Amino acid sequence: MAIKSSKDGRVVAGVLALQGDVVEHIAALRRAGAEAIAVKNRADLDRVDGLVIPGGESTTVMKLLARFEMGEPIVRRVRAGMPLWGTCMGMIVVAHDVVEMQQPTLDLIDISVRRNAFGRQNDSAEVDLPIPALGEAPFPAIFIRAPWIERAGADVQLLAERNGHGVMVRQGNVLGTSFHPELSADARVHAYFLEMVAEAREAHVGNDRNVA
């Protein structure tokens, strides 16, 4: 099944490809029916209707975003309405701030996150996570040195929690997950994000690809 917008064909989802698990996300987006490309520079960013920032190492990626001058164009597109989904490290990169750390972020969603919050014993855990927005069956959520959400602003929707802490949130066109849906066979979170992308494209927000 291809995710289509009624206007002009398939939506194009991008995965920020500076560091992290890019290939897995591209494969999962394709399985969920989208055209998916790696976003390595501004020209790639101009081609996409929505962007995923994958898991990886947040300090490294913030440095690379600055070095390749990609942070600002991403912020501009997202403020103009382009959907963005941060998984794990990606959610840290888009958060308002990181608790107990002086770490720069893109500040695109009003949450404060704690890095590596689930502790060493949970460095790699697969959890049956209830996510009501995705239906009744729990989601097989894979947590790898995952952050949790310590504070969320009033406009932030809490979509899932684990051990009393938010692990999936949405504020308008920005989605964040502490876990790694690209490593599960279950495509429901990718499909959820692609719906956001298709809707934004239909509504003609954030898809003026020249904004960037």
- Binding-site ranges for ligand GLN (CB under 6 A): 55-58, 88-89, 92, 115-116, 144-145
CA distance 94 to 106: 5
Catalytic residue among 24, 25, 35, 182: 182
Q: Is 182 a catalytic residue?
A: yes
Helix (H) or strand (E) holding 141: strand 139-144
Please tell me which residue in 35, 88, 136, 161 is annotated as part of the active site: 88
Strand partners, 171: 174
Phi, psi of 70 (to 5 degrees): -105, -20
Nearest to 14 by CA among 34, 31, 32, 39: 39
H runs (alpha helix) in 48-187: 58-67, 71-79, 89-94
In the residue annotation, 88 being an active-site residue is answered as: yes
Q: Which is nearer to ligand GLN, 63 or 151 (CB)?
A: 63
Q: Given the complex with ligand GLN, which of 81 and 104 has the nearer CB atom?
A: 104
Does residue 25 carry a catalytic annotation?
no
**Smallest distance, Å, CB 108 to ligand GLN?**
16
Instruction: CB nearer to ligand GLN: give 58 or 207.
Output: 58
Residues marked active site are found at 88, 180, 182
